[in-house]
Structure 1
């Protein structure tokens, strides 16, 4: 297998642990261990106290998988396998795709969702999220027109990274209908699921709704626990689940014993964790909107509808890569340029889930005021 460098991850590798301020993380403020343990129920605390750091069940702790099923309607424990989220993408693609297959991928997207199919010898059609009437949108008709005899899979990500785009329930239903009509797999990266910005706009999970749907979810973004490296795949396709489980034997084999118990605790505190994260995201989004509109000759703000990210646009007077490079060198503020998603248009990603977001905006504002003559 030959695979290209992961642009986003390589960019983060340079600055994530050296820059003073990070404006672009996509996860929500990480939970302290003390807080997670404080909110845990009696059974979870006993599991933690009695924990032995041995090998674990390959498909995941039975209690953890039972807790995961409570997020869905049509999923049972045999439809769930725990994985590291990136691992889930890798093994699902390898279990399904073969050289010569064709896939349709929402674009821009987390690079592995398009890069792994390419590395397997698949042809890839980009289904691009575009600006229409100052809102992000997808052309559903383009999806159907792009399907050919060799198409095997549609790959989506909602809420969308990096734009925060969220289709309507009707649009998502149409995507599923198209997948059913053509008997295609639907791989749905749902890492920002449950972080919709308006009540009632949440989408159903693809794996819960469609027999050939595969959903990826986990604790890194929505649940503020990226350090656990814990996620899962769900699908009602029993034969596919067996293939995925077989492939996992060649990657991690099984999960971390401590992460599984902490994951049980987190899922049992779902409402508390989600409420706090949604409130912080909406508060930070309001601050971002005010900030970018205050400097509307330099930035264009495009409202996200879900997730913990947004994708504003920088004025064409300066290239976004140059801007991001100057800001991190002069003010130690890391900003992720859209080029790391292979996306043209002078956009950059911001993360709305962190506690210090407003402070970083103040630092960025001070820099803009200092350098204003260089931008207008």
Structure 2
């Protein structure tokens, strides 16, 4: 394992004898997501209402929806949807796409590619399955760890990525814009990363779930699949499009990776077999209306970015904050000896603070401990989500808590 991450990994994250361990982030959400009234850590953009999406349908999508037959779909995805996905890239053909749930795509791609002993390099911290599946398969995983500055900044040193690669490296896994830090590589560093992978001949799995949420369109990186023929790009509708409930994502590849995609299709017969056909029909409509949906979500993000910056300035004695370069999440820091504890008696760990917060006023944050990354947890980092319309209400509840000792009032919950 990479030197900085050694203590984070084998003992706490991986138990190969018992297979895949619990997914920390998802178990945390399972505990609180449907109980806490103020979700200030969600990574998706404002979920689209069904009538809103139906109103955006073009005539063909409307006809498909109204005449939908609730039978099985094709394993690789609705052909019209596959064709539409291809328009997101410069050189991807229908044979280079398979549609599935994003998490399913990660899992099956790793199973298709990796065997015990393979060497893998992964951005870290990150979505647990991006490194955990490889670990569970008995691969040698080196973690390309984020650099955290004393000022709350975050960055990834491409030179360290290059140093982790070996002539025998089988796979590199990257995620930009990055969850949870919001880091986006420069075009120069993106080219260096591609060249490094090309130099050793490894596959590159590029998680691009937050792509298209660049605040500056000029900063958008080309998709990995368009610049490297051994890249496997993951994307989907959960984050940038505000449609996580459709459970639609996809893998896109060039011809050298067609055998990998064929194996993913075979493995999919053991998971979902095919996608839900209503989801595919709605996904097709969403992609055809993507300019409207992306503009909607970027407008929400820009408003919320200003609100968060103002809040963090107001509570600069409690938090340290640097805005993300792109995406719908940020990674602020709870200051070590802040006023957050409220009793003036010293430090409080970020996980204890987050627990006290959600039980005290119903505001849910995501402590860095769920990523298993000791450095960010020790420094008090936590994830906030920037894409929901109720962010101002969440900040108001958090403000009331921080100004305590009175607690912000909880809204009445709907009865089941």
TM-score range relative to shorter protein:
over 0.9
Structure-1-length-normalised TM-score: 0.97
Alpha-carbon shift at residue 105 of structure 1 (Å) = 0.6
Output the CA distance in 1 between the equivalents of 2:260 and 2:104: 16
1:71 is matched with 88
Alpha-carbon shift at residue 206 of structure 1 (Å) = 1.0
Match 1:89 to one of 81, 103, 106:
106
Output the CA distance in 2 between the equivalents of 1:85 and 1:267: 16
Segments ≥4 residues shifted beyond 2 Å: 131-135
2:295 is matched with 275
Alpha-carbon shift at residue 149 of structure 1 (Å) = 4.1
Output the CA distance in 1 between the equivalents of 2:266 and 2:230: 18
Structure-2-length-normalised TM-score: 0.88
Deviation by residue 1:258-291 (Cα, 9 ceiling, x = unmatched): 0000001000110000011111111111111111
5 Å-filtered alignment, 1:14-25, equals 14-25=31-42
Contact 2:152 2:333 in 1 (8 A): no
Contact 2:110 2:134 in 1 (8 A): yes
Does residue 4 (structure 1) correspond to residue 31 (structure 2)? The answer is no
Output the CA distance in 2 between the equivalents of 1:148 and 1:371: 55
Deviation by residue 1:121-172 (Cα, 9 ceiling, x = unmatched): 0111111111346532111111111122432111100110001110011111
Does residue 223 (structure 1) correspond to residue 230 (structure 2)? The answer is no
Contact 2:106 2:130 in 1 (8 A): yes
5 Å-filtered alignment, 1:154-193, equals 154-193=172-211
Question: What secondary structure is seen at the aligned counterpart in 1 of 2:217?
Answer: coil
Does residue 204 (structure 1) correspond to residue 198 (structure 2)? The answer is no
Contact 2:45 2:242 in 1 (8 A): yes
Alpha-carbon shift at residue 239 of structure 1 (Å) = 1.5
Match 1:340 to one of 358, 361, 370:
370
Deviation by residue 1:231-251 (Cα, 9 ceiling, x = unmatched): 000011222221111111221
Contact 2:84 2:284 in 1 (8 A): yes
Output the CA distance in 2 between the equivalents of 1:342 and 1:26: 18
Does residue 38 (structure 1) correspond to residue 55 (structure 2)? The answer is yes
Tell me how large the CA RMSD over aligned residues is: 1.2
Tell me whether 349-358 or 339-348 shows the greater mean CA deviation: 339-348
Match 1:354 to one of 379, 388, 395:
388
Output the CA distance in 1 between the equivalents of 2:194 and 2:62: 40
Contact 1:108 1:342 in 2 (8 A): yes
Output the CA distance in 2 between the equivalents of 1:136 and 1:190: 19
Tell me whether 252-261 or 140-149 shows the greater mean CA deviation: 140-149
1:261 is matched with 281
1:120 is matched with 137
Contact 1:100 1:150 in 2 (8 A): no
Q: Unaligned stretches of 5+ in structure 1?
A: none
Aligned length: 372
Deviation by residue 1:20-59 (Cα, 9 ceiling, x = unmatched): 1110000001111001001101100000011000001110
1:315 is matched with 335
Question: What secondary structure is seen at the aligned counterpart in 2 of 1:200?
Answer: helix
Question: What secondary structure is seen at the aligned counterpart in 2 of 1:48?
Answer: helix
